[in-house]
Copies of this chain bind each other. A is one copy, B any other.
């Protein structure tokens, strides 16, 4: 059985995919793939997802130019999570202009701190 057929998709036909920087291991984002976008990721070597908010096939970077070049693809022991290691073109994965989507840390006292710096201005990149 091919890999994409073995994956345990959820009730919506989706599987979470963790995106990690191939070079330094930083976790960049989490998004969701359906079977077609998982197959496209394998075939094209560009991280491709299903956008739950826009309900459409989503080649990461198609708007911003910040594509994710896939260097390795892994699945977990339950075959219900994907890990892709990528080279992040353009320096930032997050649509808010940060390198990683995980730019907010919750500190021990419950306060929060932005730990990332903006790589780009979203208003410029997405021409809102």
Please count how many residues in chain A sit with their CB below 8 Å of the partner chain's CB atoms: 34
A-B contact pairs, 6 of them (CB 8 A): A3-B110, A30-B81, A42-B110, A74-B102, A74-B103, A83-B102
CA distance A73 to B104 in the complex (A): 9
User: Does A123 reach chain B (CB closer than 8 Å)?
Assistant: no
Residues on A lying within 8 angstroms of B by beta carbon are: 2-3, 16, 18, 20, 24-27, 29-30, 42, 72-78, 81, 83, 94-96, 98, 101-106, 110, 112, 115
Among all A-B residue pairs, the 7 with the closest Cβ atoms: A25-B25, A76-B101, A74-B102, A30-B81, A83-B102, A77-B101, A73-B106
Number of copies: 2
